[in-house]
Chain A
Amino acid sequence: GQNIDQPTEMTATEGAIVQINCTYQTSGFNGLFWYQQHAGEAPTFLSYNVLDGLEEKGRFSSFLSRSKGYSYLLLKELQMKDSASYLCALNAGNNRKLIWGLGTSLAVNP
């Protein structure tokens, strides 16, 4: 089967850097998604990692290590608007069905 784990809550300060980890166990692996979801809104796509390494997109970067079953989302120069839930989702190749983590609720304080 598949299993995904990420911290429930994190707190950080405006302007700082925060790393949100996601570990997983799976027999099949195609890639790992990161989504951002503000309260009461729809999830929005942030990144998709297929190969090992770091992918950077502006203030957000995502890292993957397939051998370790580990990914992280790195948020730099935090802004108040980054306060949201961050969900990692595993593409295990099950016909478009994603396996979702429970989400990490990030609070950015002034």
Chain B
Amino acid sequence: DTEVTQTPKHLVMGMTNKKSLKCEQHMGHRAMYWYKQKAKKPPELMFVYSYEKLSINESVPSRFSPECPNSSLLNLHLHALQPEDSALYLCASSQRTEDQPQHFGDGTRLSIL
């Protein structure tokens, strides 16, 4: 069990669907992250939120849209995804400074048909 909760655990969607991934943490962390991970590769950073503000966007296509409604929640809205977007999507959080370890959720395994 992790202290970062992600839902759903698995998601299959067509290329025309709209869906959202959700992430929640109650550790009081003020930095939250979205990563994409392909098999046998390290996590690839997508977005960083710091104090509910987007601080890093790693040139992610606009079909991925992040949202941070409050300090405990992080969403990733998906629209018109491509088959190559199939991957494990990991949410992570850390305390205020970059010297604190990131705690990861179990991820959402996404398959695009």
Q: Quick check: A100 and B43 within 8 Å, CB to CB?
A: yes
Instruction: Confirm or deny: B74 has a beta carbon within 8 angstroms of a beta carbon on chain A.
Output: no
Instruction: Confirm or deny: B85 has a beta carbon within 8 angstroms of a beta carbon on chain A.
Output: no
Contacting residues, chain A, for B84 (C-beta < 8 A)? none
Contacting residues, chain B, for A53 (C-beta < 8 A)? none
Contacting residues, chain B, for A93 (C-beta < 8 A)? 98
Q: Quick check: B2 and A95 within 8 Å, CB to CB?
A: no
Q: Quick check: B56 and A96 within 8 Å, CB to CB?
A: yes
Q: Interface size of B by Cβ–Cβ distance < 8 Å? A: 23
Q: Quick check: A96 and B104 within 8 Å, CB to CB?
A: no
Q: CB-CB contacts of B33-64 with A at 8 A, as 1s and 0s?
A: 10000001111010010100001100000000
Q: Interface size of A by Cβ–Cβ distance < 8 Å? A: 24
B residues engaging A (CB < 8 A)?
2, 31, 33, 40-43, 45, 48, 50, 55-56, 90, 94, 98-99, 101-107
Show 23 residue pairs from A and B whose CB-CB distance is below 8 angstroms, ordered by the A residue. A30-B99, A31-B99, A41-B106, A42-B2, A42-B105, A43-B104, A44-B104, A45-B101, A48-B99, A85-B40, A93-B98, A95-B50, A95-B55, A95-B98, A96-B48, A96-B94, A97-B56, A98-B45, A98-B102, A100-B43, A102-B42, A103-B42, A105-B40
